[in-house]
Structure 1
Amino acid sequence: MKRLLLILLCLSLFSSAFSQSRYKPESILNYQKVDQKWLHFGFTLAINNMDFALYNSGLTDARAEQVVFSPGFSVGIVSDLRLHENWSLRFLPGLEFGERTIKYSNLPQEDVTVESVLVNLPLMLKYRAKRLNNYRPYLIGGASYKIDVQSQDALDPENNMLIRLNATDVYLELGAGIDFYLPYFKLATELKFAIGLRDIINHSYDIENPGYEAYTDAIRGMNSKIVTLSFHFE
């Protein structure tokens, strides 16, 4: 957590320094009306990396060693409610697509694939620093409720899906970014970290596919983590 806060602080300081270095008093201010609207909308395109924090049970020799993740992508809608000159409340529903592979030791199948399609329902509070020319750094934080519509009721041994995930989770989210004011719209680049609060693994056995219980038993608990680089068009 300390490392996460340090990364966000460095990003915020960099954003502020970058904006100040590009500031020119004589520059024309683009698209000023967006920050005066009490409610405005947009859309989001993003890339993500989904990860797991694994906690081995120690009940057997089997161990979940590491997670190999592949880049995923996200799409969503932006709804921004202006609360103050520097504060806004944001609802950013969307879909997140990702895949993770857990590597096991001391089990016949070493690689177990987990695919996720998350319906993301985040409610975020955004703090914006003072606008400098056509740039405005900001911090954002809040919570989200995610529903995994890809979660399986049964294992799928043919596709290396030998564990199951719970369908829902609650996340804490924290990030930073920069608003870029263009002539006809605002573009925001944002880096955000999300940490799941619940044990995401389904510990019940699949009676339709016996013989794979060791993959679940090897893990005492598992939390989801997601890093997202977003591009908001507002």
Structure 2
Amino acid sequence: MRKIFSKLNVLTAISVATLSSAQLFRNKDRMDNLEGFDNQKFSYGFYLAGNNFDYKLVLDPKFGMDGQKNLVQSKSTYSFGAGLIGKLRLNENFDLRFEPGLQFVERELYFDTQANDRFAAGTNSNPPFTPRVLSDADKLRTIKSTYVDLPLLIEIHGDRWYNSRPYAAAGVNWMLNLQSNSNAADDNSQGLFRSTSSNFAWSAEIGMQFYFSRFKLTPGFRGTFMINDEMVPDNADTPPYWTPAIVSAKSRAFMFVLKFE
């Protein structure tokens, strides 16, 4: 009797496993959403993005460092962006994407550069200057940027598995900073940090595409890294408390994007 019950238990377990497997992996009765969507030559949509922008700083060893101490620090903040999607189908596995958007950014730079008083007599790269006591307002620069982000990306995606598909993308960006103040006469001595208006970057992205009955939802993670130096130097007669302490300042951003097509 015990052997019979053991055999029945084994058969029951096999039956349950087979039935569960059939329910999970069967494709005869399961409907695929938007079956012909990816065969379109062109498709459109929009996206929302949560972003974290920061500066990658290279500091001047004389004005930007005191021994091993960095005298300039960058602090990132979280902000948001939004844009449109235009996609051109190249073949079964590759698409060309153009995703123009706006990125609203705010960052902070902290200049702990009072020690540069020691160069008041002048150096080969800076004329003599009259030292000034840096206030808290002098040390902190809150930099607001609005980027018109124009990325052109090549997307490669895997085969569709029911209503999902993995993808990766990479490409180049032209980023126009509408709040650069690049042509302003004032500089950091008047509390204004200037940056370049026209910039170039490269981007890489990875994520998963999900197909619903009426739209395709794509959550993904994107990294964008500026190629050019964005800093506009201070005027020649400004003491070396600010931009002389920095060799280059390049934006780097990490974004969570949510796309609707």
SS of 2:36's equivalent?
Answer: helix
In the alignment, which residue of structure 1 is the partner of 2:109?
A: 102
Once the two structures are TM-superposed, the CA of residue 61 in structure 1 deviates from its matched residue by 6.0
Structure 1 residues 104-128: Cα deviation after superposition (integer angstroms, max 9, x where no partner): 2134233211111000111000001
Aligned counterpart for 1:222 among listed residues 243, 246, 249: 249
- The question of 1:25 aligning with 2:26 is answered yes
* Structure 1 contact 64–219 (Cα < 8 Å) conserved: no
| Cα distance between partner residues in 1 of 2:178 and 2:148 | 7
| Cα distance between partner residues in 2 of 1:95 and 1:212 | 35
In the alignment, which residue of structure 1 is the partner of 2:37?
A: 34
Structure 1 residues 8-47: Cα deviation after superposition (integer angstroms, max 9, x where no partner): xxxxxxxxxxxxxxx7333321112220100010001111
Count the aligned residue pairs.
208
- Deviation >6 Å, runs of 4+: none
Q: Scaled by the length of structure 2, what TM-score is found? A: 0.74
Once the two structures are TM-superposed, the CA of residue 60 in structure 1 deviates from its matched residue by 2.6
Give the direction of change, closer, same or farther, for the CA distance of 1:157–1:59 in structure 2 (3 Å limit): closer
Aligned partner letter, 1:143 = V
Once the two structures are TM-superposed, the CA of residue 211 in structure 1 deviates from its matched residue by 4.7
Give the direction of change, closer, same or farther, for the CA distance of 1:192–1:211 in structure 2 (3 Å limit): same
Once the two structures are TM-superposed, the CA of residue 163 in structure 1 deviates from its matched residue by 1.9
Once the two structures are TM-superposed, the CA of residue 170 in structure 1 deviates from its matched residue by 0.7
Once the two structures are TM-superposed, the CA of residue 66 in structure 1 deviates from its matched residue by 2.3
In the alignment, which residue of structure 1 is the partner of 2:227?
A: 197
Aligned counterpart for 1:136 among listed residues 134, 145, 165: 165
Structure 1 residues 123-180: Cα deviation after superposition (integer angstroms, max 9, x where no partner): 000001011111101000000100001111334779x953211111111111101001
* Structure 1 contact 180–187 (Cα < 8 Å) conserved: yes
Aligned partner letter, 1:134 = N
Structure 1 residues 167-223: Cα deviation after superposition (integer angstroms, max 9, x where no partner): 111111111010010110000011011111111101142x8xx75652111101111
* Structure 2 contact 169–206 (Cα < 8 Å) conserved: yes
| Cα distance between partner residues in 1 of 2:199 and 2:173 | 8
In the alignment, which residue of structure 2 is the partner of 1:233?
A: 260
Alpha carbon RMSD of aligned pairs, Å? 2.1
In the alignment, which residue of structure 2 is the partner of 1:184?
A: 214
- The question of 1:55 aligning with 2:82 is answered no
In the alignment, which residue of structure 2 is the partner of 1:127?
A: 156
Identity %: 28
In the alignment, which residue of structure 1 is the partner of 2:197?
A: 167
In the alignment, which residue of structure 2 is the partner of 1:9?
A: none
In the alignment, which residue of structure 2 is the partner of 1:5?
A: none
Q: Scaled by the length of structure 1, what TM-score is found? A: 0.82
In the alignment, which residue of structure 1 is the partner of 2:145?
A: 116
Aligned partner letter, 1:179 = Q
